[in-house]
Amino acid sequence: MRPTRTRLALCCLLAPAILAGCGAGSVGSALHRTDPPKAATLAAAVVGSATDSSGRGRSREVADPLEAESDPAPATARHAAAAAPVKAGEAAIAAGAASNAEVRQELSQVGAAEHAAKASQKRLFTPLAGGSSIGGNGTIPIPAGVPEVVQKVIAGANEIADFPYVYGGGHASFIDNAYDCSGSVSYALAAGGLIGSPETSGELEHWGVPGPGRYITVFANAGHTYMYVDGMLYDTAGRSGVYASRWLVGATDNSGYVERHWPGY
Domains defined for the chain, CATH in brackets: 11-95+119-261 (3.90.1720.10)
pTM of the model: 0.65
Tens of pLDDT, residue by residue over 158-211, are: 999 999 999 999 999 999 999 999 999 999 999 999 999 999 999 999 999 999
What distance lies between CA 154 and its chain's CA centroid? 10
Check pLDDT > 70 for residue 109: no
Confidence of residue 38 (pLDDT cuts 50, 70, 90): very low
What mean pLDDT is predicted for residues 217-246? 97
Tens of pLDDT, residue by residue over 118-162, are: 555 556 678 899 999 998 899 999 999 999 999 999 999 999 999
User: Residue 198 and residue 201: Cα distance in Å, rounded?
Assistant: 10
Please report the DSSP string for 130-195 in residue order.
TSSB-STTS-----TTS-HHHHHHHHHHHHTTTSPB-TTTTSS-SS-S---HHHHHHHHHHHTTS-
For the chain, the average pLDDT equals: 76
Q: Which range, of 70-74, 99-103, 236-240, averages the lowest pLDDT?
A: 99-103
CB 23 within 8 A of CB 182: yes
